[in-house]
Structure formats: structure tokens, C-alpha cells
Structure 1
Amino acid sequence: MYTLNIDTQAFIKQHWQQKPRLMQQAFVDFEDPIAADELAGLACEEEISSRVVVTKGEDWDVIQGPFEDYDQFGEDNWQLLVQAVNHWYPASQPLVEAFRFLPDWRFDDLMVSFATPGGGVGPHIDNYDVFIIQGEGERRWKVGDKGQHKRRGNNPNSPLVEDFEPIIDVVLKKGDVLYIPPGYPHCGETVTLAMSYSIGFRAPSQQELLSELADSLIDTNQGHKRFTSKDEPSSPGLISQAHQQGIMDLLVQLAQDPQAYQTMLGKLLSQNRFELDICEGEEPLSSDDLIDAIEQGAIIQRIGGLKVLRLEQDNHARLFINGEVYPLPDVKEDVLQLLANQVSILPEQASELIEQPTLLAVFTQLINQGLFYLADDE
């Protein structure tokens, strides 16, 4: 349904995490996967992250959702932003699929925006990659070059920056896509009533990695090695350069030991920042129930936004799903690959897979946890 009209491998080599790119008509005959009133309905829900940004001259007010009505905001100079729409609105998943030429572990969420004329969020810098897809209406986007950009209000923690000299200045029309890597300042302003879609990709920071690694080492009772040395500084109050480096090398050794970091990475990278739409059934499903459903043509389907990941050169047969480890002893690598790559498992495939008792038990568990569900084969 949504096919990117670009050479994705050339894009990765020439632009990905390197420089912005404007892709006019990257989606031919683009259709909005969600209507404005449906988006407004999602923003009524307590568990869904939403906000309205109101433009006030050279400033912006941010009001956090949920929202019951929008009359207070008037007819211009504001926009509604709803995060993780792919978690809650299944019809948006095909748009996400168009960007799976990039790995799932990087994918953050699909944010959808409805904006009135003059609505925008101001010049800012993100620490993640983003593809901005234009739906109905038109929005003007400016992108600046990397560099030392002054933070607005001299606040080093604010993503907002002062105005910049644009290297891209364009009005996006339906089907156009603008890619912006981390570190490039950008801002958008709505020309006409508009729907926009932001596909975000992010990677963990050093802070996140160190925090997760420390927790993992404590949980698994690893990381007890201490620094030792043969040479000591002549001055008692001095920490020598050799000692500094030797102590920090303990962390380097952990980073080079898959036994120390692989489980931590799998758990961390399979987590979501935003709440999932967990769909537990009223009654637990038995393995026999699952077999019967598949025989009757049911599809095994992931809930929106769920990450199912495997590690290359893993010493264990397992998958990482939503921050947890799912051991799959005796399951072959090609099956693990299928489970990690396919969002839907068709009845024919499912029938073969559940012949393995391990997979039958895990599928039953995942459905009862509300992470997968049974859908009709349309």
C-alpha cells in the first residue's frame, strides 16, 4: 500500500545519518492512513501521549493531552501532535512497513500531526533521525546545517535554538518526504490545514547503556573483576594516567565480552518508549484453543509497535520481545529470523510452526500476555 519511490540502499550509503535529503513524491498517490477527527479521538485517551503546540509570535506554548475539544485553540496557529499512533491505530502500520529497510531496533514511533495555518513547533534540534511525510495540505520546512547553534534562552537542555540559515527551504506537498539526521536544526510552519507523519529512529545514549549494563551486571551477579597493577606512582596523592586507563579498561573488557552485554542489549533495544496497546483476552487461551483457531484460518498478529528482535551470533536460541527474553531451545535460526521479521504469521506458516511444542507454548504465552493476537485472514 505504501511503497517508497527511492533507492533505499543508495539512501543508506549517501544520506542516512550523514545529511538531510528532500524526496519529492517519495510516495506516489499518497493517502492519509488516519483522518484528522480520528487523530483527535486518539488524543482523548489518557494512555496515549499527545500535546498541542500553540504559536505565539516568537514563542510556543505546549499543552499536554488528553483533550476533549479544541475550540479553545481557534482556527490557526496551533497543531496537535500524537505519539506512537502505530501502537493504537492498526491502519497506520503499512506506512511504518515502508521504512523497515532500516532495523526495527532503531525504530521509535510514528508521530502524527494535525496542524492549522501558522502552526509549528519552532526551530529545534533532535537527537534522533526523522522522516517527515506530508499528507493532506502543505507545510513549509526549513533545515539548517550542523554547527554551533545557540540554544533559545541560553538553556543547554532545550531542543529549541535561535533562527538559522537554511540549507533546505521547501513547501512539502502530499507524498513528499523530508529526511533529517540528528544534529540538524529544523522548523516547520503550516501553510494550509495539514496532516503530517514523522517516522523516528533513535539509538541509546552512553548514559542509557551504562545504566542498563550496571543493572544487568547486578541482576546476573557479574562484573566483579577489580583493577590490579604492578607499577605505582611515586606521589601518594596522584592517580597516574596508567591507573586511570587501566581502571577504565575494565569497562572496555565488558564491552568486548558478548556474555556480559548481549542479554542487556537485547532487552534494552526491544523496549518501547511509549505504552503499547496490550490486548489480553478475557479468558486465557489454551494450546488446544490456539491449534483450533489456526486450523480455522486465524493469523497470529503482533500488536502495533511490538519489537521482536534476535541477536546475530547469539550463543542462545532466543528472541527479545518488549524488554524480555524468550528462550526457544532447539528452534532453528531460520525460524527465529522469520519470527523476528514477520509482523503477521499466516495460517499455513503457523500450522507448521506450532508442530514444535516449544513454539506452541511460546505463541500461547505471547497471546495470553496480550503481545500477539489472533486475527482473521482477510
Structure 2
Amino acid sequence: MYKLNLDIQAFLANDWQQAPKVFKGAFPDFEDPIAADELAGLACEEEVSSRVVVTKGNDWEVISGPFEDYDRFGETHWQLLVQAVNHWYPESQPLVEAFRFLPDWRFDDLMVSFATPQGGVGPHIDNYDVFIIQGEGQRRWTVGPKGNYQRRGGVTTSPLIEDFEPIIDVVLEKGDVLYIPPGFPHQGETLTLALSYSMGYRAPSQQELAGQIADQLMDEDKGHKRFIAVDGAASHGTVSLAEQQGIMQLIRDLCNDTDNVVKVLGKLLSQNRFDLDIQEDESIDADALVEALNEGAVLMRIGGLKVLKMEGDSQARLFVAGESVIIEGASEEELIEVSNSVNVNAELAQLPHWQGFFVQMLQKGYFYLGED
């Protein structure tokens, strides 16, 4: 169990998405949830997103996994980064739970890095919030102020930037946490062999929202309404302001449709960027589920799965991994409980109107029956 030694309300009021901050000793007696060799083993798997960053003077080489061995990288100047470790390594879930004072829909993934001395990824800017938790070893972090920074090498699509003047310069040790909001440049330098953990939190971009709206309209074969105007053309080659506003009103109309908004956001916000560890079980049925629960099995979500309830939804519905699922007969309280719970209450799961949902989830591999 990981207990975060942090005044959460003060953090949300004064720091969250406002300014970077260091929390020394945020996790007293911190223990690494994964060992370096176990992380290296995950990076051998094809389904797991991993990369090695090799430091070469003032430049960096990025090599994508999977990896069979690491001898070729030597003993210094490189770092292994493995994304979505919480999807593949259940023992990391308790560390994720420590940060659930932030909503599940924002949580992206738990990235874990193993770094050798002088290993790092260079000065860069992220477009998401990140908490960096230091495990074994020491790493020096510098964070700069927001500003207009020159992209390294003039590559506009690269997150790497030229050097910055730090406003934070700190050596993180086991149990320390560094919080960095979007837009603040930062860089890590490894002092000793080190494990560190990055909890990333994202909100959707305008591009992602527009894409999801388009997908939803095509899925339901909607959105065929066109702009209608009664006025003639005041000028042959000019689109009037009234016409521009009238055409864009078609988009606003979509956003004023509550049911459409619920479905668009529910599907988008419950999606994952990285693969889930899905183990389908088409053999399970309602009788097998009830029998297993009566024998003491625990119904659990797979790591990283997002189960969201949309406030104001007119239907008894949850959104799971980008899918809309209606549970006829479910109460508001039950829907909220299931969306909040990683381990499902056995009594609730056996209610007739919930059995079908959980059988479907087990068959899809989104939930599994484990031990307490």
C-alpha cells in the first residue's frame, strides 16, 4: 500500500496545472513495485510499448523495443522507458491508487524507467501533467518556466528543446515526488542506477474531440443537416458573417445535444492510448460467475481499464474502453459504485441486472476472477 504524504486539497488549489513543485519524502519508506530485471522482461514483449534512449553528447538516439538484451548499451548513458506498466504488471496498481484523488478519465498510464548513470532523455516539454516518483537511486531534475523555446535542431514536431534557465534544480531520492504541469520544460539526469515512475494525466485536444464527434456521427449515420439561408448573395465571392455563423451553428447544435455529448465524451475519455492485457474468456456464463463468487473469487478490472459514468446521462449506462454499455435496471448508486471500484462488490455482481454486464466484461477480457 502506498500512502501519499500530501495535503491534497492544498495541492489542487495551489499547484495542480499551475506550477511545478517538489515534494520531498512524499512516500515515506517507499518500496519499488517492480524490479529492474522485471521491467527489462516486460520490454521483451511485443505488445508492450518500450524504448531505450541513448545519450550521445548533446544528442539522443531513440531505439524502440522489444529488446532481447541490453549488453550493447554498456553501463552508462542510457535509459529504458516502458509505457503502461500498470496494464501488464498488477503489482503496480497500488501505486496508481495513491493518485486516484484525480479523476480516472485524466489518467494516461504509469511509465517506468530504469536509467544508468548519465542517462536521460534531454530537455523537453510535455503537453500533459506528470508526477515523477523516485524509486531506487538518485536523479537530478531541472525544470524551467513556461515560454517560447527553440525546438532542438529546428524540428518543430520534436518535444526536445534547447536549454533553459531552471526554476527548480533538485536531486530526487527514494520516495520524493516532482510534479510538472503541461508546458514547463524539464530534464532528468541520472546520478546512480535508478528506477523512477511517471504518472501521466491528459485531457483531450480539439483534434481528438473533433475526430470523436465525426466518428460518432458516422457510426450512427447522423449529422446530415445542412445550412439553410433565405437571403441572396450580397457579393458573389464573399461569404457573409451571417452565413459563416449559420454554418458553424450546425456544430454548436451537435454540442447542445446532451445525449450526443454524453456518448462522444464517454467513448473518447474511456479509451486507452496503449494496449490492455486482455485475456478473453468466452466460456464464462452467469452460472459460472455466480458459482465463482460464492466460492470466494474476486471480480477485478484488468490494469488500466477505464470504466466511466457520465453525470447527467439519461440512460443507465457505463463507458468501458471506448464502448457504450447500457445496464437496464441499474440504479445511479450502482453505476457510480461500479465506475469507482477496481474490485467489484460480489453481492452487486450477482444482481440479475448486473450479471449480463459482468459476463460480457469477462468474455471480452476486461475483468477477471482473481483471489482476494
When normalised by structure 1's length, the TM-score is 0.96
Deviation for aligned residue 1:14: 1.1
**Offset of residue 259 of structure 1:** 2.1
Residue number in structure 2 paired with 1:261: 261
In 2, Cα distance between equivalents of 1:367 and 1:183: 40
Instruction: Name the residue aligned to 2:347.
Output: 351
Compare 22-31 and 237-246 and name the one that shifted more: 237-246
Following the alignment from structure 2 to structure 1, what is the Cα–Cα distance between the partners of residues 280 and 251?
41
Structure 1 segments of 4+ aligned residues over 4 angstroms from their partners = 230-233
Q: 5 Å matches for 1:172-251?
A: 172-251=172-251
Q: Give the paired residue count.
A: 372
Aligned residue in 1 for 2:29: 29
**Letter paired with 1:317:** A
Report the 3-state secondary structure (helix = DSSP H, G, I; strand = E; otherwise coil) of the residue aligned with 1:133.
strand
Decide whether the 8 Å contact of 2:300 with 2:369 is kept in 1. Answer: yes
SS at match of 2:353: helix
Cα distance in 2 between the residues matched to 1:240 and 1:63: 52
| Partners of 2:348 and 2:354 within 8 A in 1 | no
Matches of 2:347 and 2:248 in 1, distance apart? 51
1:253-292 superposed matches below 5 A: 253-281=253-281, 284-292=283-291
1:354 alignment partner AA:
Q
Measure how far apart 1:220 and its partner are. Answer: 1.3
Counterpart for residue 43 of structure 1: 43
Deviation at 1:352, TM superposition (A): 4.0
CA contact (8 A) 2:140 2:190 kept: yes
**TM-align CA RMSD:** 1.2
Q: Deviation digits for residues 161-194 of structure 1, max 9, x if unmatched? A: 0000111111101111011111111110101100
Gaps of 5+ in 1: none
Which residue of structure 1 lines up, in the alignment, with residue 10 of structure 2?
A: 10
1:12 is paired with a residue whose SS is helix
Instruction: Name which of structure 1's ranges 243-252 and 207-216 shifts more when overlaid on structure 2.
Output: 243-252
| 1:373 and 2:372 aligned | no
Q: Could you give the per-residue CA deviations for residues 204-246 of structure 1, whole angstroms, max 9, x where no partner exists?
A: 1111111110111122122222223354552110112222222
Provide the rounded CA distance (Å) in 2 between the counterparts of 1:18 and 1:233.
49
SS in 1 for 2:167: strand
Say yes or no: does 1:364 pair with 2:359.
yes
Contact kept, 8 Å, 2:32 with 2:136, in 1: the verdict is: yes
Separation (CA, whole Å) in 1 of partners of 2:259 and 2:367: 29
Separation in 1, partners of 2:178, 2:10: 16
Matches within 5 A, 1:300-339: 300-339=299-338
Give the letter aligned to residue 322 of structure 2.
G
- Tell me, what secondary structure is at the counterpart of 2:62? strand
Aligned residue for 2:141, secondary structure, equals strand
> Is 2:83 the partner of 1:87?
no
Please list the CA deviations of residues 81-101 of structure 1 after superposition, one character each: whole Å capped at 9, or x if unmatched.
Answer: 000000000000000001111
Q: TM-score, normalised on structure 2?
A: 0.98
Consecutive unaligned residues of structure 2, counting only runs of 5 or more, are none
Contact kept in structure 2, 1:217 and 1:260, CA below 8 Å: no
- CA–CA separation in structure 1 for the residues paired with 2:144 and 2:232: 51
Distance 2:170 2:346 in 1: 47
3-state SS in 2 of match to 1:150: coil
Q: Distance in 2 between matches of 1:260 and 1:362?
A: 23
C-alpha contact 2:259 2:313 (8 A) present in aligned 1: no
